[in-house]
Structure 1
């Protein structure tokens, strides 16, 4: 009985919140309404640790709000600032402009990003998974001409860059591996069509530190679907 009562209160609270939050702002002049929508969208994107999707932003603005135009206005306002609003991993996110990367590193401040360091071998396997997915560990081993260890796969999984995909139709039905939405976010890509190769990683300055390490900027750990690929 108590659980049923608690559930009812939560549903009532949600209905109350929906009534109180005014998305349409019909009592405001058009210019002020647009400005308020811009502020709301920027606040949500700023607060989120992951790229914010169009569906999420639609919850805080009016049903007739042109979100793309609103985002364009926000980007225009950020011209000349050290950070920008970028399209990444199917959503939008605030990111520091790359020209200030050296400045931030020199400051030694603790940033909101979670840094994960991958070896060149792990980085190469990650790129192979991104290109061939869904792909099994055995297929990766054939691609590289040597066994790809379970430890390498575990390292990429723990960084939130890959996840388990569908079972392979081959003998034994081994697991396949796919990249996650977080993979796109970490590399600043909108879709897998923007996939970089290892040389591009070097050109982008993502290969740092020891000769055999690759420093990747991560914004959190999340296993999520990417372009229809499932995670576990």
Structure 2
């Protein structure tokens, strides 16, 4: 490729059209063997493009899956209003489970339950795997050989990370939590970014043990109350069915006597 400007334009157009991260190899596949730029040349072009986009509403970022064009964080709250549907909101239990997998992987379901103090719902694991944020990476060498869970490249891409080393520290998460609360107070209609939701719940999941115990106890109490209500409803239904059967038998006996 003789013209640097032409190469830059092609790479920019490819990132825009792809709608997903492109690796250096994927970009190289756009060119024939004679004109194909090397990876060093491509990286230089991508870094130049990223610099060109600084301070604008969109940006070019490198994530685990490669390079992509994305909405700048400063504009995401307004751009999200283009869609009527709100971003998916996940339960605190799901986000805490994801956080423990991210920070303590590889980890078993039983180990997650030990840390959180409550059972991990099968639906939580299913949802995380359907989202392709979590996968089975092996099995613990103990009786029963429980599955070991770890995060995926899709997890890194979704949260805008190149590697697990870029996961925020507890201090950074708490600072972000405070900023998000201030923004929510200033703009009640603001659409919460999924990364912010995750950050708040990750902070809770990897909090000191006394805070975890308090959260776990509260959640356990809520689950116990829900189970008690369900049992009470089941008992009421059983009693109603028994009464209905007794009435039916009584009517049948009356009918037999009349005959």
Q: TM-score, normalised by structure 2?
A: 0.60
| Cα deviation, residue 191, structure 1 | 0.4
For residues 142 and 110 of structure 1, the distance between their equivalents in structure 2, rounded to whole angstroms, comes to 40
1:73 aligns with 2:48: yes
1:99 aligns with 2:74: yes
For residues 20 and 103 of structure 2, the distance between their equivalents in structure 1, rounded to whole angstroms, comes to 23
1:40 aligns with 2:18: no
Helix, strand or coil: the match of 2:74? helix
Per the alignment, residue 116 of structure 1 pairs with 88
| Cα deviation, residue 127, structure 1 | 0.8
Query: RMSD of the alignment, in Å?
Result: 2.9
Query: Would you tell me which structure has more strand in proportion to its own residues?
Result: 1
Q: Relative contact order (C-alpha < 8 Å, sep 6+): which is higher?
A: 1
Q: Larger C-alpha radius of gyration, 1 or 2?
A: 2
For residues 125 and 60 of structure 2, the distance between their equivalents in structure 1, rounded to whole angstroms, comes to 32
Number of corresponding residues? 179
For residues 63 and 133 of structure 1, the distance between their equivalents in structure 2, rounded to whole angstroms, comes to 35
Per the alignment, residue 188 of structure 1 pairs with 160
For residues 205 and 216 of structure 1, the distance between their equivalents in structure 2, rounded to whole angstroms, comes to 12
| Cα deviation, residue 51, structure 1 | 1.6
Helix, strand or coil: the match of 1:85? strand
Helix, strand or coil: the match of 1:94? strand
- Structure 1: unaligned runs, 5 residues or longer: 1-24, 209-213, 218-232
